[in-house]
Amino acid sequence: MKWIVCVLLLLGLGVRTVEAQRMRSYRPSMFGVRDQFNWSVSFAQSAVSDYRSGEKQNLEITTSFDFTQAIDLSLINLVLKGRSRLGISQETTEETEWVLPTDNDLFLENVIVLPFGWKADPYFAASLQTAITESFRVRRSYISGDYLERTANLWDPVTTRQGLGFWFRDRGDYGTFGTRIGVSLSQVRSNVHTRATDDFKTRDVVEAYKAETGIEFINEADINLDENINYRATFSLYSTFDEFEVWEMDWSNQFRAQIWRFIGVTFNVDFTYNDRSDDLQFRQSLTLGVVQQL
């Protein structure tokens, strides 16, 4: 981690957060999807040494990447999507030193659409989601001291999903919109981290694989709120046929504003809800830095 500290010193310790983003200009395709390429990296550093809180240092680096590529092959329309987020946080105190991942997610999706010219065309989608690297949770123990508990790793667990249904797409003056509804087949595979696959009803067996069929509803929007302000959102609902009254919800929002030639602001907020656990989770981030458009 020493080389990271040196890089931050060269950038200037007076800068709290610096972000570099590269975006390809939005280009609407003929079937309501916009090609785009976004990449960002942010740095944050702090150090404290006083009699009230003691000595403490914190260093955080976060990088994210997302893309959407629409390909028109005449007989079929192909939409490739992907995103990755990875952040590393190092916290050093007088007693401990933690190096933990913050954002840690990889998502890939491939959608095949048959352009029949209907209001809603048939589609087939396949997606994959997993962690990029190890994830940990700090466990508090007054007896043996605090320790790290690993909660996920690359391909452990990994969720794959296939969907078949109809996709309504529209391209207007202010952006693009899409709504998908169809049947879905979901699989979760794990090796060590079986929290998402283990069936609590079978106490003597720890399942490492879980498959479910259900229904999916996905609503997507990519809107230009102003000349220099863009809003992207994805709202999805999923439920199984066995437990149709239980729903899973994911809602991701991203606001991106260019406030000067090379200065921009990006605000992300994601919500996740599961009826099984009755727990609403969220993740929020705000970055200010340099923006470049390709």
Domain chopping of the chain, boundaries: 2-293
5 has a pLDDT exceeding 70: no
Distance CA 249, CA 236 (A): 6
Query: Cis omega before residue 157 (within 30°)?
Result: yes
Distance CA 255, CA 240 (A): 32
Which one-letter amino acid corresponds to residue 266? T
Query: Cis omega before residue 101 (within 30°)?
Result: no
Q: Considering only CA atoms, give the Rg of the chain.
A: 22
Triad 262, 263, 269: Cα angle to 5°:
135
Distance CA 214, CA 120 (A): 20
Residue 190's pLDDT band, with cuts at 50, 70 and 90, is very high
Q: What is the pTM of this model?
A: 0.79
CB atoms within 10 A of CB 281: 11
φ, ψ dihedrals at 6, nearest 5°? -65, -40
- Longest CA–CA span in the chain (Å) reads 71
| Tens digit of each residue's pLDDT (9 = 90 or more) over 75-120 | 898 999 998 888 888 888 777 777 888 889 999 999 999 988 888 9
What pLDDT is attached to residue 291? 56
